[in-house]
Structure 1
């Protein structure tokens, strides 16, 4: 992952409640062993018709949403199965943050571990973003934990300190631990040999 830095971006508005992970990335695309390329399949059943052509009325296919790094989704986003491919697909598509009034717990954790920032806002703020529509500009600052709307209103959002630190550093949990390899080796090297119970048998 890359360090999560502040950014400005237009939003893509998809205000559908209860979008589950099978809608985010259908099961037939889960055979891959790499994260790359999954963005092509994100919301596949909604983005494309039976002939594989983009549906012009779908939010992500509209010009105003082009280049959006922030998805404004409906309530209970990411419900359903626990597949980690969902945040993989969203980030590969280009999203760096998803805004909703609530998230499924497992998706929320998977998103944070994969560099996708889930931003929980109040129904009032959410309604304002939906009303502004795709293309409206926002600013996201993880360090300050603020989402700044087009009118300059800065909204604070919660994020647990450890996940925040990892995202700002651009590492996952394993990467975070690997920073302390020398300290771990020094500690292990200074330990006395464990008592061998076999010697008393």
Structure 2
């Protein structure tokens, strides 16, 4: 994977006009703080979307961003058919768990973007938020070969959305495992299946040591 500064990845993400307005931010640096500043600038200007793992701030937050970015990349006026109403109706019918809504919507919309030559990539910064960019399908192939100071750019399929929580009971050593949305708390008042030792309180706060693996 090619190592780049975040600034060096911008030609894959932005249009030529957008890139021109960002020239003052394109100083090469190995400083994470400057990369963070550039990331926040991209977010503030609607060029990159940050979505919390738990869900959108408001309905259609994701689809509006995708429409805007695809339109910016288009060489002529185009209206994307993302089928937002169908996406939310299907999501409600599926009764998805908290934490599953965002990956569902991203996958749903990405299928429709690809039909028109665009696709979603994610900046995988190692935390549980989604950092979304839209590029052409060809541009994504180049972008996903790059890793900047904040992490690599990856496809939706490569994003880990679940966590395996493993607890070895401190009293009887029995192994207990839960698969949960990536940042979800342990269910309230969980206890060892073997001896009944309490693992979490009424709010899901852990009372014992644990191991967490992303999957």
TM range (shorter): under 0.3
The TM-score normalised by the length of structure 1 is 0.27
RCO comparison, higher one (Cα < 8 Å, 6+):
1
The TM-score normalised by the length of structure 2 is 0.26
**Between structures 1 and 2, the one with greater strand share:** 2
